[in-house]
Structure 1
């Protein structure tokens, strides 16, 4: 696939850099902005990206703009709360797609602001780490304007391998993404616990990983994270602090929906402990470290 279309991208962290790079590689003319002038910005400029001075400038130049930031506060800031935010550059027919994992309220507020500015909005939080982004294997969980979903299809196909439109409002996408995070956070938290029990019992971690992989519980994520835990190699793909942030959002959602989530609460506590031990910026497999004696 190759494209000559103009696409904007705001937020060039670990994920955003790879996503913007994938768009450039597929022939899109990409206009980028990042809060700080970092190595990612320079690397993308070397690939042919046009560097803009603000999110507003990106949106003004592009009919379709993507955003990828770490949390609801950053999402609001680039979309509509900043002095030069995306909504300030919106025009009729333009659209904004937010790929960040945020709560439903943040998504709904963004939709209202973008619509008030004359644009259209799609929430499209992604599932996958930076290696998935680099390989073009992200999953997009979308909610909002169906026309924007169609408008963004070619761009999403350049960055990912599958996408779903789960509802006509962005809150549905926010909720659906958190459902995935419940499973992922709990599963790797349980893996860390299993590895801790095995270690205390004197059972080789690599053997435990092999047994899990051969069992009904085997899956690519368990396989990969078991190896990291065994080697204590936590080079980040998806960081502890991001997984914990998502489980914190799940806790708020469970309160809102009055659905008990005791397993998720317990897992969240272990991610918090991992962060307190200095592993916040390491791969979330480092939840294993929360089980070690201080």
Structure 2
């Protein structure tokens, strides 16, 4: 069992850190708003710290799941950042979806301090985090990944190293690109079927067993048909992720026409007041 720090206790981080404690790891948590850290300790035991640096002191592994590039920099660097509290040889594991650029930047800083750094964004949503069945896409040095993988196993269905620093983030971009197209296609199909007078649930029961089947179809069609979107992965966060995808595509000369279009559709959902709705709320745009 390892001594672990976990930074960031949102809808993903709170249960992920809980799985680490349940597996017997010694866990110290940090959250920007202390009340969440106190609630986590009340539920799972362990300890909470006032700063990322204090949480990281003495820890072999420091896991983070925060909001964006700036949030990640803030918990890593500076006098109160985790890097300042980490001992040489400790490994920082970042589960945040951020740019590959900031990942490589922080990995280089960590390396210069004798620290390991693994970018390890996750897929599976809040339910995946709560049930401990996330897909984890990793980048970084082989030795750092090999040490961290048994710890990440506490909340993983699958965990793989896909290349050097930044590879995990590129893989997560690919994941979000796929999801954007899938959700839009599902929204159009369900809206089309309703206009045509079809029973959407009955149709999905059949087509989900064929080539059209997907996680989105299996897990989101019922709530899409009943206009329930107050759960899941928020549109605001999806737009953040797609923005990273589109910026990276420009940098490397890739073309993402469908992703760019769906990103604008999500912008429309935000304008409708749906920024905190689940990503499946794309169907709200369509006449039914």
TM over 0.5: yes
Deviates more, 1:235-244 or 1:172-181: 235-244
Q: Distance in 2 between matches of 1:208 and 1:278?
A: 30
For each residue in 1:69-127, what CA deviation from the matched residue of structure 2 results, as whole angstroms up to 9, or x when unmatched?
A: 122221121112x4411111122111101011111111011112222333111111111
Identify the residue that residue 272 of structure 1 maps to in structure 2.
267
Q: Distance in 2 between matches of 1:15 and 1:108?
A: 23
Identify the residue that residue 193 of structure 2 maps to in structure 1.
198
Identify the residue that residue 67 of structure 2 maps to in structure 1.
70
Q: Distance in 2 between matches of 1:196 and 1:257?
A: 36
Structure 2 residue 217 is matched with structure 1 residue 218: no
- What TM-score do the two structures reach when normalised by structure 2? 0.94
For each residue in 1:174-227, what CA deviation from the matched residue of structure 2 results, as whole angstroms up to 9, or x when unmatched?
A: 111111111012101221122222233333332343343133111333111111
Q: Distance in 2 between matches of 1:196 and 1:278?
A: 20
Identify the residue that residue 100 of structure 2 maps to in structure 1.
104
Question: SS of 1:158's equivalent?
Answer: helix
Structure 2 residue 126 is matched with structure 1 residue 130: yes
Shift of 1:49: 2.1
Q: Distance in 2 between matches of 1:250 and 1:41?
A: 35
Deviates more, 1:190-199 or 1:243-252: 190-199
Deviates more, 1:55-64 or 1:211-220: 211-220
Identify the residue that residue 144 of structure 2 maps to in structure 1.
148
Shift of 1:52: 0.6
In structure 1, stretches of 5+ residues that fail to align are: none
Shift of 1:261: 0.8
* Residue number among 182, 185, 192 corresponding to 2:180 in the alignment: 185
Counting matched residue pairs gives 288
- Say what the alpha-carbon RMSD is for the aligned residues: 1.7
Moved over 4 A (4+): none
Deviates more, 1:7-16 or 1:245-254: 245-254
Identify the residue that residue 31 of structure 2 maps to in structure 1.
34
For each residue in 1:37-77, what CA deviation from the matched residue of structure 2 results, as whole angstroms up to 9, or x when unmatched?
A: 23464133431121011111111131110000122221121
Identify the residue that residue 13 of structure 1 maps to in structure 2.
10
Could you tell me whether the CA contact under 8 Å between 1:90 and 1:114 is conserved in 2?
A: no
Q: Distance in 1 between matches of 2:219 and 2:125?
A: 13
* Residue number among 224, 234, 251 corresponding to 1:229 in the alignment: 224
- What TM-score do the two structures reach when normalised by structure 1? 0.92
Shift of 1:256: 1.1
For each residue in 1:257-284, what CA deviation from the matched residue of structure 2 results, as whole angstroms up to 9, or x when unmatched?
A: 2111111111111112112212221221
